[in-house]
Amino acid sequence: MGAEGELRRTLFPLHHPLRDSDARNWPLPPAILGLQPAALVDHVARVDWSLLDRIPGDRGGSQQVAAEDLNHILSEVKAHILPFPNEIPPIIAIAGGSVANTIRGMAAGFGVSSGIIGACGDDEQGRLFINNMSFSGVDLSRLRMKNGSTGQCACLVDADGNRTMRPCLSSAVKLQADELKREDLRGAKWLILRYAFINLEQIKAAIRIAKQEGVSVSMDLASFEMVRDYRSHLIDLLESGSIDLCFANEDEAKELISRERKVDPEAALCFLAKHCKWAVVTLGPRGCIAKHGNEVVRVPAIGDTHAVDATGAGDLFASGFLYGLVKGLCLEDCCKVGSCSGGAVVRALGGEVRPENWQWMYKQMQTGGLLLPELKN
């Protein structure tokens, strides 16, 4: 059968609950499912300004690059490492992607049953993705393995903790829209999406199925470049009324309403809330604002630490916010939990929260009188 066949059997047991007509003895499906059509491995490093100045594209954003450009960036990284105390190794490779970060956070930090829908390659990067997500307790039964390569991304962090992303997905295997089945989403409570024009067919297919199955939909706006370059398609999605919850950072929010008379986070929040039940705009060290119905809240950031790396801050904010929604918390407390989890991930390099920083988060939640997760030992 070979290594690929063995791994596929691991991801898709012969008696999988999605295939068996009698699934009474199988565990319940994950409460939270994330759609990430192409698995991704992040290569995260702190680098000096000179490297960032030579990389095409806007600093601080996320822009697709070709395979040869990615390889060139990664080869240059070692010569531009920015030393940081107690940071070993200086470059880390970890399962990445916005949706994967959020799903991993919900499973590992909040004990909420979570799974991912997508595809990975039968290569070293694919195995790394699988091992990392599995170790964190993520359900991988909806992850397809395909012949080919797994996506990669250079995550370059400057001295101020700001990250510049250069993903390469041009040759990566991915889940196609016609491969999505109703069984993939059956029984879930939430579907998590990241807006991306290259995945628009998959996003629309997943939303259609989610609505058929009574699953709520959460969407992150991805990056200001994505909003700027494909705004009309994004507006169509929002105006369809199928997005229940939308997350945007300040740059994305301003880009979304850049053609309006008034451009600020509050105006963007109102714009999003016209189309979504819940709307959230994160403001970095200034916290966040959120709206649900007629209720509007503003919550400050949690903690006073300087961000080591902003990678995953918005993704982990979403983990905490969604945990609050699943547990029935009020809007303000959802934001507070999100601020705690977002604050936890920026305390170290990469989009995965380290154990000691989960403990920091639980302490912040306890101090704030927030509902602590019920975690298995």
Please report the pLDDT score of residue 362 as a whole number: 97
DSSP assignment of 214-258 equals T-EEEEE---HHHHHHTHHHHHHHHHTT--SEEEEEHHHHHHHTT
Q: Is residue 166 part of a domain?
A: no
Q: Is residue 346 part of a domain?
A: yes
pTM: 0.89
- How many whole angstroms separate alpha carbon 100 and alpha carbon 115? 9
Least confident of 30-34, 250-254, 339-343, 348-352: 348-352
Higher pLDDT, residue 65 or 79: 65
Q: Would you give the end-to-end CA distance of the chain in angstroms?
A: 36
DSSP assignment of 128-186 equals HHHHHHHHTT-B-TTEEEESSBPEEEEEEE-TTS-EEEEEE-TTB----GGG--HHHHT
Q: What mean pLDDT do residues 36-41 have?
A: 98
Higher pLDDT, residue 8 or 226: 226
Q: Is residue 301 part of a domain?
A: yes
Bridging pattern class, strands 163-168 and 151-157: antiparallel
Q: Which string of b and e fits 270-304 if b means at least 16 CB within 10 Å?
A: ebbbebbebbbbbbbeebbbbbbeeeebebebbbe
Q: Is the pLDDT of residue 26 over 60?
A: no
Q: Which string of b and e fits 46-62 if b means at least 16 CB within 10 Å?
A: bbeeebbeebeeeebbb
Query: Cβ contacts of residue 21 below 8 Å, gap of 6+?
Result: none
- Grade residue 218 by pLDDT with cuts at 50, 70 and 90: very high
Query: Cβ contacts of residue 165 below 8 Å, gap of 6+?
Result: 61, 62, 63, 153, 154, 155, 156, 223, 311
Say if residues 69 and 166 touch (Cβ distance below 8 Å). yes
Q: Is the pLDDT of residue 263 over 80?
A: yes
Q: Is residue 60 part of a domain?
A: no
- How many whole angstroms separate alpha carbon 276 and alpha carbon 291? 9
- Grade residue 195 by pLDDT with cuts at 50, 70 and 90: very high
Q: Is residue 70 part of a domain?
A: no
DSSP SS3 for 50: helix
The dihedrals phi and psi of 294, each to the nearest 5 degrees, come to: -90, 0
Q: Is the pLDDT of residue 247 over 80?
A: yes
Structure tokens at 207: 């939303």
Say if residues 343 and 364 touch (Cβ distance below 8 Å). yes
The position carrying tokens 């196609």 is 176
Q: Is the pLDDT of residue 63 over 90?
A: no
- Grade residue 321 by pLDDT with cuts at 50, 70 and 90: very high
Q: Is residue 377 part of a domain?
A: no
323: domain CATH number? 3.40.1190.20
Structural domain span for residue 293: 32-39+96-149+173-368
Q: Is residue 185 part of a domain?
A: yes
- How many whole angstroms separate alpha carbon 60 and alpha carbon 156? 9
Q: What mean pLDDT do residues 155-183 have?
A: 91
Domain count across the chain: 1
Q: Is residue 85 part of a domain?
A: no
DSSP SS3 for 119: strand
